[in-house]
Structure 1
């Protein structure tokens, strides 16, 4: 059986663009990796989403685990760990926090064009954007249920590996974790702490059992 940790990236100063994690973020992720490395007897496989914050968190976790003598396999980017897919004028756009950052993703668009689209105008207005998306029944792209289904299929696929590591660490984003938590418990728990999230047990038949982690591993 494979154990999969689905973790939020570490601390960032803002979500305005593809930003790095902070110095404290590096420390938080390194310490989490050290704790994992100190208690895991077998190899640790580490994957992440494609954003800079996810990749840097994965690298810091790997460094911390190696520093405690763990065997670490860094497997790069896993497409399934991306943020939810949203579409604006036929373009897949990242979840960002300003009309300007949406507009630069769509050729020929400006901030006023973004604001004309009800979903994105509302997204930029509500205080808890991710929570609003989680509860939204008809976003222009992935629903929370669709993301949870994606992650469950991703987790189950680790049963296919002939070299299955005992532990897989997957660094992702808060919308992904909140969608999975909603599917698991029926309640959106709100923003997870840095480098915390869910744990999944992946069985030989590809079935997956998930539970919330109360804190960073």
Structure 2
């Protein structure tokens, strides 16, 4: 029970708050370059990088949607002409949490930790006391995958009462839990899912001696 509560404490700022509130333009401490069809984001501490389409933008921390939690490192969103609300927002976010103490206290290997984390989240879909309990969540996928060439777990589901489609991808690198979250209206998934996959597939962890140009 203890690890279950702590895991959800980690996830709440980055995933559950995002689901409730959403967010937008991270303007401090990133390195951005441009290729023919994408822009490159490098994290301020040079731990990871990714490419995102030219018609997407980095959401600012002071915006209403989507919402930045305490562990959120980056939020990307398509550039939209319409007003963004929790019902029509589309975003790709990355949150990073230190789980070294949790791994040590529970004598867990990263793969075991991720399996339990995802299992606990799936259990919350049917728990009336959880944030998902009354939202009629439909599980679409619970798979092993890779993120930045590291083993990862990926959870895909519909929150039917809100009309949203969501993908959560988790991996552990250097005792840090990386949580990649994609969310958008179910009605727009077919046109945006491929872009999400391209962004996720471009994600790379950077060597410690990486120096930006």
What is the TM-score of this pair, normalised by structure 2?
A: 0.31
Higher percent of residues as strand? 2
Structure with more relative contact order (C-alpha pairs < 8 Å, separation 6 or more): 1
Could you say which structure has the larger radius of gyration? Answer: 1
Higher-helix-fraction structure: 1
